Amino acid sequence: MNMNDSSTGTPLDLGKWRNVPKLLMGVGGALSLIGLFVNREQFAYSWLLSFMFFLSLCLGSLFLILMHHLFDASWTVPIRRFCEHIAALAFPWMAVLFLPIAILAPDIYTWMHVNPQFDHALRVKQPLFTWWMFDIVAIFCFLVWGVLAHRLRYWSLQQDKTGEARATHRMRRYSGPGIYLYALSLTIAAIMWVKALDYQWYSTIYGVYYFAGSVWLAIATAYIITMVLDRQGILTPVMHEHQYYYLGSLLFAFTVFYAYIAFAQYFIIWNGNMPDETFWYVLRERGTWWWISMVIIFGHFFVPFLGLLRIDVKNVFAYMTPLCIWAWAMHWVDLCFNIMPVLHPAGFAPSWQDVTCFAFMGGLLSWRFLAEFAKYPPYPIKDPRLSEAMGLYHPIPAQMSGAELDQTDEFPDAPPQFGGTNQ
Amino acid sequence: MAASAETTLDLVEAPIRVPQPPAELERTPLVANGRSFGWLSNRVASLIENKAPGWWWVLFSISLLGLGLLIFCMSYQISTGVGVWGDMRPAMWGWGIVNFVWWIGIGHAGTLISAILFLLRQRWRTAINRAAEAMTIFAVMCAGIYPLIHVGRVWYDWWLFPIPNANSIWPQFRSPLMWDVFAVSTYFTVSVLFWYMGLIPDLAVMRDRSKTKARQFLYGLFALGWTGSNRAWSNYEKAYLLLAGLSTPLVLSVHSTVSLDFSVSQVSGWHTTIFPPYFVAGAIFSGFGMVLTLVIPLRSIFKLQDIITIKHIETMCKVTLATGSMVGYAYMMEFFICWYSGDPNEAFHFSNRALGPYQWAWIPMILCNVLIPQLFWFKKLRRNLVLVFIVSILVNVGMWCERFVIIVVSLTREFLPSSWHYFRPTWVDIGTYAGTFGLFFTCFLLFIRFLPMIAVSEIKGVTPQADPHNPLGGAKVPQFVHEEH
């Protein structure tokens, strides 16, 4: 790697951290289980918060893979494999983690207690807002994400074996209809699992809102993982400085995109000033939730926006690492702002169960991710765009034509076989 | 080169095998047939240096007639009053704003191509950015006419600007219509600056090739003394990057602001949170539709197939497909949330869109904006120029219908049923709209006649001979070891 800022530092040895995921999983799981019996409602909400956070990560990574294939991108080749592993966690692991939500749904979603005959907002949503449709939606979503993530990874691994164009074409074929299914499933999941907490409220942009935050989180995570794998020497042979630069730029772009979407939603509802929409924000301006909204405005937008404006900082690990970790914190706060006011309308009330559920899911998913990552090559070793990703010149023989066919003054240093005089 | 060939590279710490792409996945060169710098300059400059072809005069005459019609309709409307338009209570916004939004949407592709695609390092943009930028400017000019003349007393247009005056009249900054004034005028100014700055090196080329004193003087005047020195290029590149950065939020903000004209209200079908991104996607969609409509005939007539290759057309089709699908997602969400919200007004409104008296506009809206662009999933269809040309026109038919559906259907079926009526445009509405095509094509035809419609300096930059890492660009052959299997 030819980078100055990002290649400095000793190689990372993460051997001593090897057991951290299992530790997190064990301790977090045990404490979460205690939490279930101590305060079931808080447990259910904390679980939902952590679940939606890690689901963001899986879906954001899946989006990066889909875009890679649809755009025929090259710079994303080295980071594609670990994104595939993260996306593949959506099934079965995220599906398993959804089970407590499905079971505890009556503790989370107030609409499950309400008789639709006496509530207009609920009656019009029939049959979507019924127990069985809630489960069908979940099955549909996990099916879509599972099929997409696993088929894309399967063909990516097939590509490692043969390098044939067929594998590339198959991945593109999955990505075409896949992006539509992805948009549909992510939107309905965001609506049924988060927006439905306030089932009277509606906003057409809500799916895009969750999407924007998810991709933001996935990019920040991809930056950190790329950096760690690079510093361990695993990705170093195929890395080029533009991977960091583009990831940083994409993080910047999605910082703005998220803010744009969040602002559009707030501004239009504020201007319309209709009670069946504004109540959602009124609830979130009460007590300390007001300050959380300020944290989101400044922390989710202004800090990363101003922090990423400079071109050169995107290649500086010491600068980008805290910023990416900050992105994790801000996405968690954002989801908390969306979910928790239903349980704690008086104000922000963090619970130890938020931490234990997060630790358990983080530990479990990291453990599975590391196990999968260790099984396969760390990057797509026979991807046709690998040489481009590495910034290597790919020699395509090209014949000059036109008025200056016989002239070589345009390329005096070219070797003789290309018409120059350089020996 | 064999598909299975691999390269062993020793430049990295641990030698790895770098696969060469299979033949069918090789990147297509952006300039076909390996055209040289000289060929590119000659080809683009010849469009200006040669005599104007007969078809140009025919089209220019027709466009001038259209421009005359616009001037006549505007004069009639200004001298008589806005009552000559078909706007009638409750639809006080009719064709005027429909056409304003339609034209301003078309004006989104140029700056998107020149600014956003530049920042995204999409090098294919170089073949089409100049013509698209020109199209943007002319489309924004057409759009700008409507806000200016719709006020009735156009001599008071200057009240739109916050200029201190004796009557203490101050613009209502809380109105999105005011935001429009600033958004559109800023967008127009920056787009013109961007376009002009990109032209400078090419104007210098035209100056240096000029054979008449008049041309030499005029091109020289506008080339601002460009010498092509290293320092000039360095400053140019920096300025281009900065302008691209400045223009990018403008591309998004203009149509977002236009969308707020509607969405901040409580009118059924207007008040929906997805409007800003949905309008931006729609604008890019219609802009690319218009670029395709213009570029496909031009590349054939001017024999520019080696510069605007079939790959360029395909890529534009893909952008059209992507943005059309985003628009489709927005339509779907509008319908879904209409059902989900249980708002009876919204429910009536959306069923009225699909089944009411304006169904004739809703059906082409869905067909042209969502369903027909799906044809672009197929490579064979993307390469069928006749089909792409037809679809590109349908895209803008669909987008016009969309604006009509949003604006007129909502207003003519507002909350008070006794006010409902069927909107009919007058001959002045139709004449003004037809006239804007006259203005647009007059400007565009003058542009392709007197200015390089391809960014010569930029297109040269994407050829292999401009790449210092390419042997054709002077690089030494890398020390690769090729293995054939």
Residue A361 in domain: yes
Closest CA to A307 of A251, A241, A232, A376: A251
* B8 phi/psi in degrees, rounded to 5: -95, 120
Contact A272 B266 (CB under 8 A): yes
Mean pLDDT in residue range B188-206: 94
Q: Could you give the strand order of the β-sheet that contains B481-483, starting from the edge strand earlier in sequence? A: B16-19, B6-9, B481-483
Please choose, from the candidates A350, A19, A59, the residue with its C-alpha nearest in 3D space to the C-alpha of residue A208.
Answer: A59
B374 touches chain A (CB under 8 A): no
Return the beta strands (E) in A200-314 as ranges.
none
Task: Return all residues near A171 (Cβ < 8 A) that are at least 6 apart.
Answer: A69, A152, A155, A156, A159
- Is residue A25 included in any domain, yes or no? yes
Going by the DSSP 8-state scheme, the letter that residue B481 receives in this structure is: E
What's the mean pLDDT when you consider all of chain B? 90
Phi first, then psi, for residue B18 (nearest 5°) are -105, 115
Contacts with A417 from chain B: Cβ below 8 Å: 471
pLDDT at res. B13: 47
Segment holding B220, helix H or strand E: helix B213-222
Name chain B contacts of A183, Cβ cutoff 8 Å.
329
- Joined tokens for residue A70: 């649809």
Phi, psi values for residue A164, rounded to 5°: -70, 155
Of B4, B36, B249, the CB nearest to A400: B36
Structure tokens at B354: 């699909």
**Which residues touch B435 (CB under 8 Å, ≥6 apart)?**
B66, B67, B68, B69, B70, B71, B72, B73, B74
Q: Let me know: does A185 contact A140? Beta carbons within 8 Å.
A: yes
In a domain, B3, yes or no: no
Please list, residue by residue across B26-38, b when 16 or more beta carbons sit within 10 angstroms of its beta carbon and e when fewer do: eeebbbbebbbbe
A266 phi-psi bin (left φ>0, alpha ψ -120 to 50, beta other): alpha
Cβ B18–A386 below 8 Å, yes or no?
yes
Among A123, A176, A237, beta carbon nearest to B377: A176
B333 and A382 within 8 Å at the Cβ level: the answer is: no
C-beta atoms of B24 and A395 within 8 A? no
Domain, as residue range, for B67: 30-154+171-464
Handedness of CA A307, A228, A23, A370 (dihedral sign): positive
Q: Is A6 among the domain residues?
A: no
- Band (A311; pLDDT cuts 50, 70, 90): confident
Enter the tokens of residue B304. 């520019």
Residue B447 domain flag:
yes
- What per-residue confidence (pLDDT) applies to B276? 96
Test A384 with B22 for CB contact under 8 angstroms. yes
The predicted complex's ipTM stands at 0.90
Nearest chain B residue (CA) to A309 = B245
B-chain CB neighbours of A204 within 8 Å are 272-274, 330, 333-334, 336-337
Of B7, B38, B325, the CB nearest to A402: B38
Q: Is residue B136 part of a domain?
A: yes
Query: Residue A322 — φ and ψ, nearest 5°?
Result: -65, -30
Instruction: Enumerate the H helices of B342-412 as residue ranges.
Output: 344-355, 359-366, 379-382, 385-404, 410-412
The model carries a pTM of 0.91
A104 CA to chain B: closest CA distance, Å?
A: 24
Q: Determine, yes or no, domain membership for A360.
A: yes
Which chain B residue's Cα is nearest to A422? Answer: B476
In this complex, do B472 and A419 lie within 8 Å of one another by their Cβ atoms?
A: yes
DSSP 8-state secondary structure symbol assigned to residue A237: G
Query: Residue B251 has what pLDDT?
Result: 86
Q: Give me chain A's average pLDDT, please.
A: 90
Higher-confidence residue: A336 or B10? A336
Cis amide leading into A116 (omega within 30): no
Complete DSSP assignment for B5-19: -EEEE-SSSS-EEEE
Taking the C-alpha atoms of residue A116 and residue A206, their distance in angstroms, rounded to an integer, is 23
What is the mean pLDDT of the segment spanning B311-325? 96
Across the interface, of B42, B330, B464, the residue whose CB is closest to A403 is: B42
Q: Which chain A residues touch B473 with a CB distance below 8 Å?
A: 411, 414
Q: What is the largest CA-CA distance in chain B?
A: 85
Question: pLDDT at position A278, please?
Answer: 96
Output the six-digit token pair for B369.
Answer: 């904006």
Chain B: residue nearest A2 by CA?
B12
Res. B152: pLDDT tops 90: no
Decide if B456 contacts B41 (C-beta within 8 A).
yes
B201-225 as b/e, with b when 16 or more CB fall inside 10 Å? Answer: bbbbbbbebbeeeebeebbbebbee
Which of the residues A126, A260, A396, A417 would you substitute to probe the B interface, choosing the one with the greatest number of B C-beta atoms within 10 Å? A396
Domain presence at residue A403: no
Q: State whether A264 and B16 contact (CB < 8 Å).
A: no
Nearest CA in chain B to A266: B273
Identify the pLDDT of residue A4: 43
C-alpha distances out from residue B323 to A43, A121, B319, Å: 41, 33, 6
CB atoms within 10 A of CB A70: 16
Q: Residues of A with CB below 8 A from B29's CB?
A: 396, 398
- On whether any CB of chain B is under 8 Å from the CB of A309, the answer is no
Gyration radius of chain B's alpha carbons: 25
Is residue A12 a contact partner of residue A231, using CB atoms and an 8 Å limit? Answer: yes
Instruction: Using an 8 Å CB-CB cutoff, list chain A residues near B334.
Output: 204
Q: What was the pLDDT predicted at A8? A: 47
Going from the C-alpha of A25 to that of each of A29, A32, A68, A335, A358, the distances in angstroms are 6, 10, 32, 22, 9
Number of cross-chain residue pairs from A and B with Cβ atoms under 8 Å apart: 189
Chain A contact set for B20 (CB, 8 A):
384, 387, 394
- How far is the alpha carbon of B435 from chain A, nearest alpha carbon, in Å? 35
As to burial, measured by CB atoms within 10 angstroms (0-12 exposed, 13-18 middle, 19+ buried), residue A417 is exposed
- Which residues in chain B have Cβ-Cβ distances shorter than 8 Å to A164? 22
Q: A319 lies in a domain?
A: yes
| pLDDT for residue A405 | 34
A271 Cβ under 8 Å from any chain B Cβ? yes
Which residues of B are less than 8 Å from A393 in CB distance? 469-470, 475, 478
Better-predicted residue by pLDDT, B166 or A181: A181
For residue A310, the chain B residues in CB contact (below 8 A) are none
Lowest mean pLDDT segment, chosen from A255-269, A345-359, A404-418, B431-445: A404-418
Whether A398 has its CB under 8 Å from any CB of chain B: the answer is yes
Cβ distance of B472 and A180 shorter than 8 Å: no
Distance between CA B349 and CA B347 in Å, rounded?
A: 5
pLDDT digits (tens, 9 = 90+) for B336-391: 999 999 999 999 999 999 999 999 999 999 999 999 999 999 999 999 999 999 99
User: Is pLDDT at B477 greater than 80 in this prediction?
Assistant: no
CA dihedral A273, A278, A279, A281 (to 10 degrees): -140
Q: Would residue A413 count as lying in a domain?
A: no
Is A421 at the interface with chain B, CB within 8 A? no
The alpha-helical segments, DSSP class H, found in A20-130 are: 20-38, 40-71, 77-88, 95-108, 120-123
Q: What are phi and psi of B16, to 5 degrees?
A: -130, 160
Nearest alpha-carbon partner for A380 in A178, A171, A145: A171
Question: Residue B473: pLDDT band by 50, 70, 90 thresholds?
Answer: confident
CA–CA gap between residue B293 and residue B128 (Å, rounded): 12
- B270, part of any domain: yes
Residues of A in contact with B21 (CB under 8 A): 384-385, 387, 394
Number of domains in chain A: 1
Q: Count the Cβ atoms, other than its own, within 10 Å of residue B62.
A: 15
Q: Looking at beta carbons, which residues of chain A come within 8 Å of B479?
A: none
pLDDT at B160: 85
Cis ω on the peptide bond leading into residue B90 (within 30° of 0)?
Answer: yes
User: Could you tell me if B236 and B201 are in contact, meaning their C-beta atoms sit under 8 angstroms apart?
Assistant: yes
pLDDT for residue A10: 65
How far off is chain B from A230, nearest CA to CA, in Å?
Answer: 12
* B252 against B386, higher pLDDT: B386
Query: Per the structure block, which two tokens stand in for B325?
Result: 């699908």
Our count of domains for chain B comes to 1
Domain that holds residue A64: 17-392
- Report d(CA A225, CA A227) in Å as an integer: 5
The answer to whether B438 and B430 have CB atoms below 8 angstroms apart is no
Six-digit token string for B429: 């509405």
* Contact call for B36 and A204, based on CB within 8 A: no
B-chain residues near A414 (CB < 8 A) = 471-475
Q: How confident is the model at residue A394 (pLDDT cuts 50, 70, 90)?
A: low
Which tokens go with B340? 């989900």
CA B412, CA B92: separation in Å to the nearest integer?
Answer: 9
First to last CA, chain A: 29
B445 touches chain A (CB under 8 A): no
- Could you tell me if residue B301 is inside a domain? yes
B116 touches chain A (CB under 8 A): no
State how far the Cα of B187 lies from the Cα of B99, in Å rounded to an integer: 18
Q: Is residue B289 over pLDDT 90?
A: yes
Q: Is A180 on the interface with B (CB under 8 A)?
A: yes
The H or E element containing residue B483 is strand B481-483
Both tokens of residue B11?
Answer: 């430049």
CA angle centred on B293, ends B288 and B297, rounded to 5°? 135
Dihedral sign from CA coordinates of B258, B263, B266, B271: positive
> Which is higher by pLDDT, A243 or B483?
A243
Any chain B CB within 8 A of the CB of A114? no
Taking the C-alpha atoms of residue B335 and residue B370, their distance in angstroms, rounded to an integer, is 14
How far is the alpha carbon of A371 from chain B, nearest alpha carbon, in Å?
Answer: 24
